[in-house]
């Protein structure tokens, strides 16, 4: 089997983060919503802890988790990380897939950082997504494989060749 590249590791890390978020949405939607909106105002004006989800909240949690699982699988497929052939050809969609995943992670990180109405949950969600997005940006800037030493500087060092 061929060696994994940094794009493969990035795709597996993003898929793991997305799957963990999706499983928590499917398995514990009440816990997530309780963290987001712990109290609700009742018709008599009393503010009490939220006890159960309405149908719309359950629907949104389920649909969001399905979308996250589909995006994780799609990222793994488009980057070629799930290839089982002994001789892997690099997928032409590797860098564009990393670009879209990075953009989504940057947007998610920024939105969760500035979401003041959900307390510290936004900051907790912001840190891993920001780190993953920085990793994606570094892959897009410096290339796929950090183990090979190659220069992408546009000018040649002609003075070094003269000596």
DSSP states of the chain as a string?
-PPP-HHHHHHHHHHHHHHHHHHHHHH-HHHHHHHH--EEE-TTS-EEE-----HHHHHHHHHHHHHHHHHHHHHHHHTTTT--SSSPPPPTTHHHHHHHHHHHHHHHHHHHHS-GGGTTHHHHHHHHHHHHHHHHHHHHHH-S-SSS-----SS--HHHHH-
- pLDDT score for 2: 65
The whole-number pLDDT of residue 15 equals 93
Query: Domain ranges in the chain?
Result: 6-147
Residue 130 pLDDT > 90, yes or no?
A: yes
Question: In the predicted model, is pLDDT for residue 104 greater than 90?
Answer: yes
The C-alpha atoms of residue 6 and residue 94 are separated, in whole angstroms, by: 11
Q: Is the pLDDT of residue 68 over 60?
A: yes
Angle at 11 between CA 10 and CA 17, to 5 degrees: 90
Q: What's the distance, CA 87 to chain centroid?
A: 28
Average of pLDDT values for 33-54?
Answer: 68
* Residue 78 reports pLDDT greater than 70: yes
Q: Which pair of tokens denotes residue 100?
A: 């879209």
Which of 105, 118, 107, 116 has the alpha carbon at shortest distance from 72?
A: 105
The answer to pTM > 0.85 is: no
Q: State the residue for tokens 């840190």.
A: 127
Question: Mean pLDDT across the chain, nearest whole number?
Answer: 79
Give the residue, 80 or 16, on which the prediction is more confident.
16
Residue 156 confidence (pLDDT): 59
pLDDT value, residue 158:
58
* Confidence category of residue 54, pLDDT binned at 50, 70, 90: confident
d(CA 146, CA 135): 12
Rounded percentage of the chain residues whose pLDDT exceeds 90: 25
- 141-159 confidence digits (pLDDT tens): 887 655 454 455 555 555 5
Q: For residue 137, which of 3, 4, 5, 6 has the smallest C-alpha distance?
A: 6
Give the mean model confidence (pLDDT) for residues 126-144: 88
pLDDT of residue 14: 93
Contacts of residue 105, defined as CB under 8 A and 6 or more positions apart, other chains included, come to 14, 129, 130, 132, 133, 136
């Amino acid at each position: 089997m061929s060696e994994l590249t940094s794009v493969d590791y990035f795709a597996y890390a993003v898929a793991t983060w997305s799957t963990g978020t999706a499983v928590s949405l499917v398995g514990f939607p009440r816990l997530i919503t309780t963290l987001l909106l712990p109290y609700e105002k009742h018709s008599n004006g009393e503010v009490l802890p939220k006890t159960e989800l309405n149908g719309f909240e359950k629907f949104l949690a389920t649909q969001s988790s399905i979308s996250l699982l589909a995006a994780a699988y799609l990222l793994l497929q488009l980057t070629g990380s799930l290839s089982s052939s002994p001789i892997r050809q690099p997928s032409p969609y590797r860098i564009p897939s990393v670009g879209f995943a990075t953009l989504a992670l940057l947007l998610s990180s920024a939105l969760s950082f500035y979401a003041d109405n959900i307390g510290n949950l936004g900051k907790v969600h912001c840190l891993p997504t920001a780190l993953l997005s920085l990793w994606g940006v570094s892959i897009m800037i410096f290339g796929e494989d950090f183990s090979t030493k190659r220069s992408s500087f546009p000018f040649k060092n002609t003075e070094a060749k003269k000596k």
